[in-house]
Chain A
Amino acid sequence: MHFIIVKHPILPTDLEAEFSDPSCGAFVSFCGRVRNHHDGRTVTGLEYEAYSPMALGIFSEIGAEVKRRFGVNRLAIVHRVGKLVIGDIAVWIGAEAAHRDAAFEAARYAIDQVKERAPIWKKEFYPDAEPRWVACHHGSRPA
């Protein structure tokens, strides 16, 4: 299990190198990248902020849940904070298991839970308007 929050670019090849358990026939990774649009608006970049000690605790809880539910051998959650440009990787998840179903399900579960529970926020930047914080979970943002 490998859970980190980083300020530097995420390099998937380096992370994948840590997944080499010979008892595992399946490795699935998910890469969340910065998109150039959201809700019909052009986006020029994002800024992520995290309450890191708590977010890492949540990643660790997700890791324990994934192990219990899907029996994966290894899970990594890596989230970047700070200013990101279009195409940058914001989050990377890797799951390794004996068989593919568990690896796919674990990766899907982990990213969904990160988005729902981790105290991480993102601010969107636009070419033609003031930046704003995006609300994805627990209701929408106050007006």
Chain B
Amino acid sequence: MNISLRYFAHLRELLGRDRDCLKLPQGAKPQDILPLILPDPTAAQKWIPFLKVAINATYAALDSPLQDGDEVTFIPPVAGG
């Protein structure tokens, strides 16, 4: 299935891009994506505790099953206001 990804703020700068498209197997979850996009396992370990995830612009659990066409956004710690 095809999943689009959006990156913002700290994560966008770390990765050097603001979006990706990935082809993932059925049943994939947001947590499966992080090791694929982060530059190395150390970065994944460091970032995972600080990221929330949104699926189609709504907060979701890291282990929510994804559907074809979903947009996944990893949300670094927020600081609005």
Contact = CB atoms under 8 A, between A and B. Distances in A.
Interface of A: 32, 48-51, 53-55, 57, 79, 90-91, 111, 114-123, 133-143
| Interface majority SS (helix, strand, loop, mixed), chain A | mixed
B78 A139 contact: no
B29 interface: no
Interface residues of B, number: 22
B10 A138 contact: no
Contacts of A91: 80-81
Given A91-B81, A115-B81, A133 B9 contact: yes
B77 A136 contact: yes
A55 B9 CA distance: 14
A142 B34 CA distance: 15
Given A49-B9, A121-B8, A137 B46 contact: no
B80 A120 contact: yes
